[in-house]
Amino acid sequence: MTRHPLTLAVIVNLYPPYVVGGNEVLARDVVEALRARGHVVHVLTGHGRDIRPDGFVHPALGFDLDRKDDFFLGARPLTTREAIQRHVYHHASYLGVRRALETLRPDLAVAWNLYGVSMAPLVAARRWGGPVVAQPADTWLLRGLYNGNGRPAKGPTALGLVAALSRPGLRRLACPDYILAISEFIRGLHVRAGYPADRSAATHLGVPVEMFPERSRPFPGGRAWRLVFAGQLWEGKGPQVAVEAMRLLRERADAPPLHLDVFGAGTDSFLQHLRRLLADAGVADRVTLRGLVPRPRLAEEFRDHDAFLFCSTWDEPFSAGLLEAMCAGLPCIATATGGTPEALVDGRNGLLVPPGRPADLAAAILRLTRDPGLCRDLGARAAADVRRRWSFQAYVDRLEDAYRRIVEAHRAGRTARIIQGLEA
């Protein structure tokens, strides 16, 4: 049976070279992989000096990506109008997406990640008339269409009131036909909020396993342990928790020498805050901020380290960075938040600790330093699990299969059955 190529329109808030975290890189990698399989993939994103319209990348969203730190990282306070445009509705984005879809006429519109660009692109996609799938990698869709992220509101604000009054109408106008969530955790949040369970599925994600070969690590003898943290540097990722754990370990006479390398980028204000923490904790000589490095360089760094710290304090949906460290055979210590336990099982292929508890993180690090067999077994099982379940090509297979089911069902005038067969 001949499988005809699809024409897709992927709507994404940021697109490389504009990057905040791994989600933008993943979007680019998926787009390129689908094109390599013969599909025509258009990208609808914001506008910026480094966006080069080439017939396939379209600056359709009404946001300036050169100001991404302001809009996506909170580098400056937004006005009430800007906050409403960012979180509720932005008419310029509606118009840009509507015009692009009417011109391109894709088989499917994919809302990849719309954090910070409101529900307007989804309203435009639904008005266009073709099938629409949302792929939430966090709670942006939940906040836009339902009642926040399940946490109590901090108090009434102008933005909060506008968002609350807008949600019923936005659910009617912007609710996607299907949800392909990054994890069962994220899918469950939407189902519990009221989204139909039979029109949602968890696709998880995958990583390029060939880039992160497993390495057998000799157990550190008399030398210092080399720990590594990699991720976007902000409070939710928990680098401050790792710093405090290093302080606690420095004070213990039974702890071996330890050094932590921190890879990643953040706002200037958070980096200054992190440097102050290092100085106040007295661990500036034991923690090095290495900055953001390309993924191949990070893979090389993984080969030269002994353990990986994943310290998120927020509900981490499902982390590619953690999977990459596991794939490289690094013993990993991670916080039991969000979708992380769907990949890392405590005591089997890593260690789980409660979020925001430096003492528990320090205790887990000590446990690794005292047990060569545990380090070896956790790293080996982690690498095997990622290769078996979380490869990038398998992830693209799951997405491609779901897209085809949705398009074929739409053409036949029925609802697609997307859950069956998408298990990782």
Per-residue pLDDT for the chain (424 aa), expressed as one digit of tens each?
457 899 999 999 999 999 887 888 899 999 999 999 999 999 999 999 998 878 899 999 999 999 888 777 776 787 888 888 888 889 999 999 999 999 999 999 999 989 888 999 999 999 998 999 999 999 999 988 987 544 434 445 777 787 788 888 889 999 999 999 999 999 999 999 999 999 999 999 999 999 999 988 889 977 999 999 999 899 999 999 999 999 999 999 999 999 999 999 988 999 999 999 999 999 999 999 999 999 999 999 999 999 999 999 999 999 999 999 999 999 999 999 999 999 999 999 999 999 999 999 999 999 999 999 999 999 999 999 999 999 999 999 999 999 999 999 999 999 888 765 455 5
Q: Alpha-carbon distance 202 to 195, whole Å?
A: 14
Element (H, E) at 125: helix 120-128
- pLDDT number for residue 23: 86
Contact between 231 and 25 under an 8 Å Cβ cutoff? The reply is no
- pLDDT number for residue 150: 41
- pLDDT number for residue 263: 97
- pLDDT number for residue 149: 46
Give counts: helices (H), strands (E), the chain: 15, 13
CB neighbour class for 393 (10 Å; exposed up to 12, middle 13-18, buried from 19): exposed
Q: Alpha-carbon distance 63 to 53, whole Å?
A: 15
Contact between 317 and 179 under an 8 Å Cβ cutoff? The reply is no
Which residues does residue 352 pair with via DSSP β-bridges, in sequence order?
334
With CA atoms as reference, report the closest residue to 302 among 263, 267, 328, 275. Answer: 328
| Diameter over CA atoms, the chain | 69
Q: How many CB atoms lie within 10 A of CB 294?
A: 8
Amino acid at 58: H
Complete edge-to-edge strand list for the sheet that includes strand 225-230: 287-291, 258-263, 225-230, 307-310, 332-335, 351-353
With CA atoms as reference, report the closest residue to 7 among 392, 398, 407, 412. Answer: 407
Query: What is the pTM assigned to this prediction?
Result: 0.91
Domain with CATH 3.40.50.2000 in the chain: 7-206+391-412, 209-389
- pLDDT number for residue 423: 56
3-state DSSP assignment of residue 219:
coil
- pLDDT number for residue 422: 58
Which residues does residue 259 pair with via DSSP β-bridges, in sequence order?
226
- pLDDT number for residue 154: 45
3-state secondary structure 268-318: HHHHHHHHHHHHHHCCCCCEEEEECCCHHHHHHHHHCCCEEEECCCCCCCC
Q: How is domain 209-389 classified at the architecture level of CATH?
A: 3-Layer(aba) Sandwich (3.40)
Q: Which CATH superfamily is domain 7-206+391-412 in?
A: Glycogen Phosphorylase B; (3.40.50.2000)
Q: Alpha-carbon distance 292 to 237, whole Å?
A: 15
Side-chain-facing half-sphere of 107: CA atoms under 13 Å:
19
Q: How many CB atoms lie within 10 A of CB 417?
A: 13
In Å, how far are 48, 112, 160, 197, 201 from 193, measured between CA atoms? 35, 20, 18, 10, 15
